[in-house]
A = this chain, B = another copy of it.
Amino acid sequence: MVWDAWGIASAHAPLSDRIRTLVAQVFGVSGEPVARRDEGDVPLRESGLTAAHRAGLSAVVGADQVSADHRDRLLHAGGKSTPDLLRRRAEAPQDAPDAVVFPADHDQVLAVLTYCAEQSIAVVPFGGGTSVVGGVDPARGRFDTVIALDLRRLDGLSDVDPVSGTATLGAGSTGPQAEKLLAAHGLSLGHFPQSFEYASIGGFAATRSSGQASAGYGRFDDMIMRLKVATPTGTVDLGRAPASAAGPDLRELFAGSEGTLGVITEVTLRVHPIPETTAYQAWSFPDFATGAAALRTVVQNGAAPTVLRLSDEAETGLNLARSGDIGGAPVSGCLAVTTFEGTRAHVAARSAEASALLAAAGGTALGEQPARDWEHGRFGAPYLRDALLDIGVLCETLETATNWSNVERLKAAVTTALTESLGAQGTPALVMCHISHTYPTGASLYFTVVAKQSDDPSAQWAQAKRAVGDAIAGHGGTITHHHAVGTDHRPWMTAEIGDLGARILRAVKDAVDPAGILNPGKLIP
């Protein structure tokens, strides 16, 4: 990905005239994009990598796999949250890791960690670099030196068991790489988060990612059968059976560990045959509460959709779920999207069952096209954010989850926190929301917030983020449903797991990483 925005340069595009005019009018910005710097012109904090450390790391991975080049360092300078991008566009010099190290395999990762523990070098494991919570910030903590440990060379499919429906992938494989490798065996993972195109298998595991087809295929943590992890004190290889009663499930310590407890190098995943067919059906509900109750009925009934989502009135009104129509003629009500994948017989039966439930719950069928439109544009929203940032508009997303009975209350609390905080700063906000992940007992809530940038947009957002984090913690939500903790959600971790929970995490950290070199400042309170 490019250093100061999402994705690849060729996919970047300025806003359409329609959107730019609308945004300029609503938020009072000029609509003229600011110039962005060329990556070669960006001043970087000087690399503190010593010759001895370069030699020591080179002895493990080879001299050509240790880089302190400007470009490599800049491309590992952090993730892709709005604060990340604001900082990258504003600050000089940029902070960056002292070096980027590219190990080839598990044993090299283990050796790098051993070396760094001995030499007091902080290590930031780096997959696709798509974190939106500061998870890959080049934070050095109490160490003089920090390296980014880029896992891209740990890619590939090392084993397929078609009878058991499992596949073993290297942690560095990206989403598209994994799907392509599996497709050669007629298989699919079915994990399609918005970061799909760039994020890695190891990153999905380390952050408890959840994809847009989670209703059908589960969260990424549900798919993990086995994890191989390198730590400064050795290797753990966890997961011997589809299910076990052999004590605590230690896989669940490393899933979501965000590089603070070890480096996930290999993951065995549950996979499924490439579906025979996919059915699309969009719906309109008169209001969010009616739509949410309808989604709940479908998931609690077991009608088994693959994708099940609902946009609220604000998001529907702006057509945010239909990339080609954003800012077009306003749409009333709440748009819901369903897809069903599988055998023709299952798809026919399950979509018919869900349709009957959704219609009975107050939905109006809109046909296939809006659902196909959503799917077509589903990885594109981060590009839109970049274009908005370019014209002086603040745009960020955040997410939580709660029980069905608490969905309305939590949604209202989050919306109020955002509108009040940003409004009080003189930058009235537009807040939109959708449900994109459903469970029998509850759902996720994903918010998009847009406002005019203040003179100090980083401080502006930090204030809003504090307000909304407190609102989530105070109204029964989890501080993150699928974005993970990183640095940005760390202030709420003690509220999430309690003082003793935090002590337990620190005890595990001390056991596996006594020197504390792994991803300092992330996750663990």
How far does the Cβ of A410 sit from chain B's closest Cβ, in whole Å?
10
In the complex, the answer to whether A507 meets B505 with C-beta atoms within 8 Å is: no
Query: A403-B161, A440-B165 given as contacts; is B501 within 8 A of A210 (CB)?
Result: no
In the complex, the answer to whether A165 meets B300 with C-beta atoms within 8 Å is: yes
**Contact pick for A250, options B164, B245, B442, B501, CB 8 Å:** B501
Report the bound CA distance from A311 to B163 in whole Å.
21
Q: Which chain B residue lies CB-closest to A483? A: B245
Residue A219, interface by CB 8 Å: yes
Residue A238, interface by CB 8 Å: yes
In the complex, the answer to whether B402 meets A241 with C-beta atoms within 8 Å is: yes
Residue A39, interface by CB 8 Å: no
Residue A458, interface by CB 8 Å: no
**Interfacial chain B residues near A209, Cβ < 8 Å:** 245
Query: A234-B499, A500-B231 given as contacts; is B219 within 8 A of A243 (CB)?
Result: yes
In the complex, the answer to whether B443 meets A242 with C-beta atoms within 8 Å is: yes
In the complex, the answer to whether B478 meets A240 with C-beta atoms within 8 Å is: yes
Report the bound CA distance from A507 to B484 in whole Å.
24
In the complex, the answer to whether A256 meets B247 with C-beta atoms within 8 Å is: yes
In the complex, the answer to whether A247 meets B505 with C-beta atoms within 8 Å is: yes
Q: Chain A interface residue count: which class?
A: 35 or more
Q: Which A residues between 363 and 420 are near B, CB-CB below 8 angstroms?
A: 400-406
Q: Which chain B residue lies CB-closest to A225? A: B441
Oligomeric state, in copies: 2
Residue A504, interface by CB 8 Å: yes
Contact flags A477-490 to B (C-beta < 8 A → 1, else 0): 11111111100010
Residue A48, interface by CB 8 Å: no
Query: A161-B403, A500-B512 given as contacts; is B243 within 8 A of A480 (CB)?
Result: no
Q: Which A residues between 143 and 187 are near B, CB-CB below 8 angstroms?
A: 161, 163-166
Query: A254-B248, A302-B346, A499-B234 given as contacts; is B243 within 8 A of A401 (CB)?
Result: yes
Residue A34, interface by CB 8 Å: no
In the complex, the answer to whether B481 meets A243 with C-beta atoms within 8 Å is: yes
Residue A237, interface by CB 8 Å: yes
Contact flags A213-234 to B (C-beta < 8 A → 1, else 0): 0000001010001000001011
**Interfacial chain B residues near A400, Cβ < 8 Å:** 241
Q: Which chain B residue lies CB-closest to A499? A: B234
**Interfacial chain B residues near A343, Cβ < 8 Å:** 301
Query: A243-B439, A243-B481, A477-B241 given as contacts; is B403 within 8 A of A250 (CB)?
Result: no
Q: Which A residues between 254 and 303 are near B, CB-CB below 8 angstroms?
A: 254-258, 261, 270, 272, 296, 300-302
In the complex, the answer to whether B497 meets A238 with C-beta atoms within 8 Å is: yes
Residue A106, interface by CB 8 Å: no
Query: A247-B257, A507-B507, A510-B507 given as contacts; is B241 within 8 A of A481 (CB)?
Result: yes
Residue A508, interface by CB 8 Å: yes
**Interfacial chain B residues near A250, Cβ < 8 Å:** 497, 501, 504-505
Query: A236-B500, A236-B501 given as contacts; is B245 within 8 A of A481 (CB)?
Result: yes
In the complex, the answer to whether A163 meets B244 with C-beta atoms within 8 Å is: no
Query: A248-B256, A441-B166, A497-B246 given as contacts; is B401 within 8 A of A241 (CB)?
Result: yes
Report the bound CA distance from A255 to B511 in whole Å.
21
How far does the Cβ of A148 sit from chain B's closest Cβ, in whole Å?
21
In the complex, the answer to whether A401 meets B249 with C-beta atoms within 8 Å is: no
Among all A-B residue pairs, the 5 with the closest Cβ atoms: A252-B252, A507-B511, A242-B442, A241-B478, A208-B245
A-B contact sample (9 more), CB < 8 A, given A233-B500, A507-B511: A207-B245, A241-B403, A242-B442, A243-B478, A244-B481, A244-B496, A245-B484, A246-B479, A253-B253
